[in-house]
Amino acid sequence: MLVPKLRKLSRIWPILLSIGIIISLFIIWPRSQPEKYPRDDPDYVSLRLLEGQKSYVDNRGIQVVVGHYIGDSVDTLQNPNITEDLFSDLINKNMFNPRPYEGKDGNPVMIPPKDFLLMKQLFHINRFNLMASDRIPLNRTLPDVRKKMCISRYSGSKHLPSTSVIIVFHNEAWSTLLRTVHSVIGRSPRHLLHEIILVDDFSDRDFLGAPLDEYVKRLEVPTKVLRAEKRIGLVNARLMGAGDATGQILTFLDAHCECTVGWLEPLLTSVAEDRKRLVSPVIDIINDDTFAYTRSFEMHWGAFNWDLHFRWLTLGGSKLEQRRGDIVAPFKTPAMAGGLFSMDREYFFELGGYDDQMQIWGGENLELSFRAWQCGGSVEIAPCSHVGHLFRKSSPYTFPGGVGEILYSNLARVALVWMDEWAEFYFKFNPEADRVRDKQQIRARLALREQLQCKNFEWYLDNVWPQHFFPKDDRFFGKIIHSKTKACLMRPPAKGTYAQPFGSAILEPCFPTPQLIQMFVMTPEGVIVTDESICLDAPERDTHHEKPKVRITACSGQRRQKWHYDIQTKTMVHIGSKMCLQPAAKKEEGLVISTCNANVEQQWDLEAVPWK
């Protein structure tokens, strides 16, 4: 009975298989294509790579803003390909199985089509391609991505203080965790490594227990594993590591990084020159799908948006001019991404360590950045130091108590302790944070601020981030309303999951309660800016169009983004072209500038909205 059936099958299975392969190739092949490695243009950033992450790229492709999106926690039922049993079986297995040349020089890993199903199932565990990671040796080679000048600049760094490297982790994969460790050992001068401290934040994977303890004993740099007795979150795990460390400098890394040659010397040099500096490397991108290594922009600094989410912004205008002379010198940044930095150990504690009331994930990077700046320290990026980090689209682990509750509580603490009037702005437009505001016990942190005699947030904005796009008493904040139609100027709404706030400026009916997407700041310099550092922009000369289009794009500081509001005529004059803002003939075409004519079409009302 079975035999003829099998025979029949044996005739059609090659056909089925080839169809399967062809379909899979179509789905997966384009994603596994090697990224064009930017050898020629050192400041090229692979925009395609960033696409899946929260990334905003303006039409000229200069500005890239990457943020982290937190997804839900591990939920096996969401993935139809995987059963509870299979999942619990898979997560405890260490399937590390390196092949000598896989991922070499930071190249992408190619998974053979026969493994695609398992690959997808494994992806779910850590929210990155675990199968790819498990095929790459722990000591894979990476390109030297530094500018040439960096090599001579740091060649004399023999007498630097040494560092304790602290890596905290919760349920990290074996291959990514140990590739981090081996890249530290393999690419740092031995005498600069005091020790490596791994802090296990209550992981439950078998292989992260005794096998890890055994493994680290064999390493040539003293390495220990500290273990939390309950889930304590990354802030308390880092505090645990820092408390145990004995090196003069602390260097923190996430548990899925790869350091490139020469990464450590610039960080230690900068801290050695001034013990009150917190110094981050340039964070390159390890692709979550292929593990390809891509060099990232050096000319980005860190800041944050109106929702207090960390953002990379392009270093523009005068800031860039100042750097012309010495493009590899470390530069000051308003905030750091959080995971990768060096600082003096004693200064870390003098400055108040971390806010130990912050749970699990989020907020600590801004808290530490504000505290450093406001209390007499500084935050820098050393462009000669490059470390790769595996950016994921969602978080793989649980957030006990709920993602929202945890993240908003952490951010509420940041705002309440450090941001003065701007805390009110944050709470006003972030009801989720407002809801947890009163639960925060912050007395100890306010006492710290007092004791360290820290400066206020206005000082921070004025001096550390003068290009900021937050409201302030010297500028307009509110709605820009078309007088005739009573419609509100609005930035283009986000399309799908990943916001793309560039495009045409549009006019829509005003929301009854003020919403951030209809709020604009107009600075004394005449820049009309909104959240995410995007500006109202029009060409100074456009010989092709009688009524050139007005766009919303990355702020550039250029004259094409300067406006003047005439209270008498109620017109919004574009300074570069001397033309006036008005709606386009067709609504879907948004806004244009046109010869000023005192027509009611060109009249606008600026309706201030109280923000504090």
Q: Which residues bind Mn ion (CB under 5 A)?
A: 254
Give the burial class of 80: count Cβ atoms within 10 A of its Cβ; 0-12 exposed, 13-18 middle, 19 or more buried.
Answer: exposed
Extract the tokens encoding 34.
């090697």
Q: For tokens 């009037």, what's the residue?
A: 421
Which does residue 58 bind out of Mn ion, ligand UD2, none, counting CB within 5 to 8 angstroms by kind? Answer: none
Report the 10 Å Cβ neighbour count for 261.
Answer: 19
Please say whether the beta carbons of 452 and 424 come within 8 A.
Answer: no
Extract the tokens encoding 171.
């349920």
Instruction: Kindly state whether residue 267 participates in binding ligand UD2, applying the rule CB under 6 A.
Output: no
Residues 412-471 that bind ligand UD2 (CB under 6 A): none
Instruction: Kindly state whether residue 169 participates in binding ligand UD2, applying the rule CB under 6 A.
Output: yes
How many H-runs (helices) and E-runs (strands) does the chain carry?
Answer: 18, 27
Q: Write the CA distances from 30 to 106, 296, 562, integer angstroms.
A: 18, 21, 42
Smallest separation (angstroms) from ligand UD2 to the CB of 433: 16
Which does residue 237 bind out of ligand UD2, Mn ion, none, counting CB within 5 to 8 angstroms by kind? Answer: ligand UD2
Instruction: State the Cα–Cα distance between residues 298 and 285, nearest whole angstrom.
Output: 12
Residues 191-220 that bind ligand UD2 (CB under 6 A): 201
Residue from 234, 261, 417, 506 in contact with ligand UD2 (CB under 6 A): 234
- Of residues 269 and 280, the one with the C-beta less far from ligand UD2: 280
Report the candidate in 74, 125, 116, 75 with the shortest Cα–Cα distance to residue 95.
125
Instruction: Kindly state whether residue 286 participates in binding ligand UD2, applying the rule CB under 6 A.
Output: no
Please say whether the beta carbons of 323 and 310 come within 8 A.
Answer: no
Residues 380-409 that bind ligand UD2 (CB under 6 A): 389, 395, 397
Instruction: Kindly state whether residue 178 participates in binding ligand UD2, applying the rule CB under 6 A.
Output: no
Smallest separation (angstroms) from Mn ion to the CB of 410: 16
- Of residues 134 and 254, the one with the C-beta less far from ligand UD2: 254
List beta partners, residue 344.
249
Instruction: Kindly state whether residue 297 participates in binding ligand UD2, applying the rule CB under 6 A.
Output: no
Instruction: Kindly state whether residue 255 participates in binding ligand UD2, applying the rule CB under 6 A.
Output: yes
Which does residue 283 bind out of ligand UD2, Mn ion, none, counting CB within 5 to 8 angstroms by kind? Answer: ligand UD2
| Among 231-239, 261-269, 430-438, 502-510, the segment contacting ligand UD2 (CB under 6 A) | 231-239
Instruction: Kindly state whether residue 241 participates in binding ligand UD2, applying the rule CB under 6 A.
Output: no
Smallest separation (angstroms) from ligand UD2 to the CB of 394: 9
Smallest separation (angstroms) from ligand UD2 to the CB of 407: 9
DSSP 93-153: -------TTTTGGGPPP---GGGHHHHHHHHHHHTS-HHHHHHS-TT------S-HHHHHH
Residues 330-349 that bind ligand UD2 (CB under 6 A): 337-340
Instruction: Kindly state whether residue 170 participates in binding ligand UD2, applying the rule CB under 6 A.
Output: yes
Residue from 123, 301, 347, 361 in contact with ligand UD2 (CB under 6 A): 361
Task: Please state at what angle helix 84-91 crosses helix 116-126, rounded to 10 degrees.
Answer: 70
Smallest separation (angstroms) from ligand UD2 to the CB of 8: 51
Please say whether the beta carbons of 548 and 593 come within 8 A.
Answer: yes
Smallest separation (angstroms) from ligand UD2 to the CB of 236: 9
Smallest separation (angstroms) from Mn ion to the CB of 256: 6
Report the candidate in 137, 175, 132 with the shortest Cα–Cα distance to residue 288.
132
Main-chain phi, psi angles of 335, to 5 degrees:
-150, 160
- Of residues 138 and 490, the one with the C-beta less far from ligand UD2: 138
Residue from 58, 134, 172, 344 in contact with ligand UD2 (CB under 6 A): 172
- Of residues 203 and 518, the one with the C-beta less far from ligand UD2: 203
Which distant-in-sequence residues (6+ apart) come within 8 Å of 87 by Cβ? 76, 121, 124, 125
Q: With b meaning 16 or more CB within 10 Å and e meaning fewer, what string describes 495-529?
A: eeeebebbbbbbbeebeeebebbbbbbbbeebbbb
HEC profile of 526-538: CEEEEHHHEEEEC
Extract the tokens encoding 138.
């722990």
Instruction: Kindly state whether residue 364 participates in binding ligand UD2, applying the rule CB under 6 A.
Output: yes
Residue from 68, 224, 227, 570 in contact with ligand UD2 (CB under 6 A): 68
**Residue ranges that bind ligand UD2, judged by CB under 6 A:** 68, 168-170, 172, 201, 231, 233-234, 237, 254-255, 283, 337-340, 360-362, 364-365, 389, 395, 397
